[in-house]
Copies of this chain bind each other. A is one copy, B any other.
Amino acid sequence: MKLGIVGSNFISDWLIEAAGQVPEAEICAVYSRKQETGDAFADRHSIPNVYTNYDEFLESEIDAVYIATPTYAHCGQAIEAMKHKKHVLCEKILAVNEREAASMFACAEENGVVLLEAMRPDFDPAYNLIREHLPKIGKLRRVTAEYCQYSSRYDKFRQGEVLNAFNPELSNAAIMDIGVYCIHTLVRMLGMPKEIKAFSTKLENGFEGSGIVLMQYDDMMAEAVYSKITDSVNPGIFQGEEGSILIYGIAMPQSMEIVYRDGKREAIPYTPAPNNMVYEVREFVRLAQENCSGHPYRKYSLDTLRVTDEARRQNGIVFHADSVL
């Protein structure tokens, strides 16, 4: 698969590192609005072709694109790529809202290509291990997916400089950037909740710095706890009647452990990949080879956005794309 890269920040560096471990994937081109940025990125990764015109990029020999631009740009760039019959691996969060994502998946189906959200935990084998061990903790009663990571950009914010990542005008919010890992993992593992209730903590400029989304199910509940202005200490937890499964690292699981009610602890043997984006690249290549535009991951992306849409509605977090008719 000849892959073109859209967006040249650190996450693209990681993706290319991961793709290097997947023999079928070959990085052939990079698109950047600025020639200079594109050239520097191409040099760093020995990429043969640099484009500053998106159409020319899409008309080149590539089979697929990886999109890692700001969220508000995903929908337009992905749709244009798919109209050019390119498969699309798109960084999380897939879109600003559910409506955008639905139109993106419709476009994928129309054009017989694969659109996949690059949601690392979806493809990390750690969660299959958890699923295997879940029966050991009895009836599941609560899942807390917590991901709080103090952003280096928050230091700048506190010094008075608002970088893009902390600018709500650019459709940014902690729920979209980091809460999405928790919410996506919950809806994938547990299905859609019956109801959600959410609170946000906003910074002085209106940017959502942290939040909690409660999710109600028939006989249990879940919560997504996220923050860009504090650091997590506690692991994520699957709490059952007979014990709990702890997971250290929601997006990049590092280790897992069962704690039974009697205090007995049992490690779940697991060797994390140094870069777990390798799993999503492999799955993307497989889906593209099978031309599987109707893959099951679509539902998780859509369900996640249904939750983030409602959480944002409850907390008055409105983006430009929400008002598009």
Contact = CB atoms under 8 A, between A and B. Distances in A.
Q: Which secondary structure dominates chain A's binding surface?
A: strand
Contacts of A195: 199
A205 B209 CA distance: 40
Contact of A246 (B198, B199, B233): B233
A201 B141 contact: yes
Contacts of A134: none
A209 B223 CA distance: 17
A241 interface: yes
A219 interface: yes
A276 interface: no
A10 B110 CA distance: 69
A230 B244 contact: yes
B212 A223 contact: yes
A230 B199 contact: no
A234 B231 contact: no
A227 B142 contact: yes
Interface string A159-183: 0000000000000000000000000
Interface string A216-244: 10011101010101110111010111011
Nearest to A261: B231
A123 to B, nearest CB: 27
A148 interface: yes
A213 B23 CA distance: 49
Contacts of A142: 148, 201, 210, 212, 225, 227, 230
A292 interface: no
Contacts of A237: 233-234
A220 B233 contact: no
A197 interface: yes
Given A141-B210, A210-B142, A233 B223 contact: no
B221 A230 contact: no
A197 B144 CA distance: 17
A189 interface: no
A3 B215 CA distance: 47
A278 to B, nearest CB: 27
A168 to B, nearest CB: 16
B259 A233 contact: yes
Contact of A221 (B154, B212, B221): B212
A217 to B, nearest CB: 8
Interface of A: 141-142, 144, 148, 150, 154, 195, 197-199, 201, 209-212, 214, 216, 219-221, 223, 225, 227, 229-231, 233-235, 237, 239-241, 243-244, 246, 259, 261
